[in-house]
Amino acid sequence: MPNQPSTSVDKLESFFEETIQKMDRQFTSHEFFLKLLHAHQNEYVAALAAYTGSPFKDLHYELVKRLRKLDGQLLSLQKKDYSSQDIFGISSTTALWRKK
């Protein structure tokens, strides 16, 4: 039975606090994804596999939605459209965060 996206993302979300603690004081969503991916490769790959179509885009969209729930608690959103390179090195925009 294929993995359900919400279950896979729930598992990754359980690592958010520890991942945020390892981040610099200010960081982008792209940097967060890379740190999460590096520390929890099996869970990240399982989450990607649960999506069809555009798995990276869809997973990252869901991860950002869940990060936004922590705004005002563990971190604060500094800028919504911050210039950054995505995990593939392609110029893009992403959220800029600051740890509390």
**pLDDT, tens digit, 9 for 90 and up, residues 82-99:** 999 999 999 999 999 999
Q: If DSSP codes are grouped into helix, strand and coil, which group holds residue 23?
A: coil
Cβ atoms 30, 63 nearer than 8 A: no
pLDDT for position 3:
56
pLDDT band of residue 1 (cuts 50, 70, 90) is very low
Q: Please give the helix or strand (H or E) that residue 28 lies within, else none.
A: strand 26-28
DSSP-derived letter for residue 53 is S
